Amino acid sequence: MKKKVPLSVLQVLNKFTQDNSEIVEPLFETEHLLHLVDTDENSDFFYTIKKSEVKDGKLVYLVSYKPQNSENINSVEGWLQIRAVENTVYEWLENIKEYNKYSPVFDNAIYKIYKNEFIKKFDIVEEDASYSPFNMEQQLILDDYLNTSLVKVLELKKGKNDKEVKELEQVESDIKKIKNNLTKEPKRKIVRRLSGFWAKAQLIGLDVFKELFINISSELIKKLMLGQ
């Protein structure tokens, strides 16, 4: 895949993503030279280099990104030379870092530690993990697991206080989002969604975590995540 992308674009990719892999990831798609996305599964922030052309004797790139800046959350598009591309990628990354400082209920330090542990444990090493979905068999296995998890969440709500019920409802919402995206998103994105779901379960308590994660057989994990 990398030799289909101009070297100048790859240099920008390496320069800004190697040290920021926890917050952004590249998705190599045939219609774009480069597509970076926020790793937050609930975010629609992106930076895209769509194509390149020579205009007035200069090589320029058509870029589109969201958010536009710290004051405007909308997307913006325009033609830029490579140095301006570098500058806007840097500013885009800084904006995402700032957004990450303002956290929802589960987006705290402990949650991030749990989530990153799962991401590292189940990260998929295949070259196509950033743009290729799970195969049909894996999707069906995952769908069955997620359906079972939804039933377990309903059972876990019984006897819980209002705060715990609210937390379980967020977990339930995550499960439904994963189900809805199983056939639409690449493997690595689904793994990140699963990691966030498991991290939330662990943060609620070990009783919840045991029901939703520990009961998964090691053979199932190997088949889904490791291709064994």
How would you write 112-129 as a 3-class SS string?
Answer: HHHHHHHHHHHCCCCCCC
Q: What is the pLDDT of residue 105?
A: 54
Q: What is the pLDDT of residue 107?
A: 60
Residue 80, pLDDT above cutoff 60 = yes
Domain boundaries in the chain?
2-100, 109-226
Residue 160, pLDDT above cutoff 70 = yes
- Tell me the percentage of the chain whose pLDDT exceeds 90: 34
Tokens for 136? 């049909």
Confidence band (pLDDT; 50, 70, 90) for 155?
very high
Q: If you ran DSSP here, which 8-state letter would residue 222 be given? A: I
Nearest to 107 by CA among 97, 95, 96, 115: 115
Q: What is the pLDDT of residue 93?
A: 92
Residue type, 227: G
Across 49-76, average pLDDT: 91
Residue 13, pLDDT above cutoff 80 = no
Confidence band (pLDDT; 50, 70, 90) for 16?
confident
Across 85-91, average pLDDT: 91
Angle at 38 between CA 52 and CA 186, to 5 degrees: 85
Confidence band (pLDDT; 50, 70, 90) for 123?
confident
Q: What is the pLDDT of residue 15?
A: 74
* Helix, coil or strand: residue 33: coil
List pLDDT tens digits, range 97-114.
Answer: 888 776 555 567 788 889
Looking at per-residue pLDDT, the higher value among 76 and 16 belongs to 76
Give CA–CA dist 148/133, Å, rounded: 22
Give CA–CA dist 41/194, Å, rounded: 10
List pLDDT tens digits, range 182-206.
Answer: 998 888 888 888 999 999 999 999 9
Q: What is the pLDDT of residue 131?
A: 76
Across 112-121, average pLDDT: 87
Considering the chain, what is the average pLDDT of its residues? Answer: 84
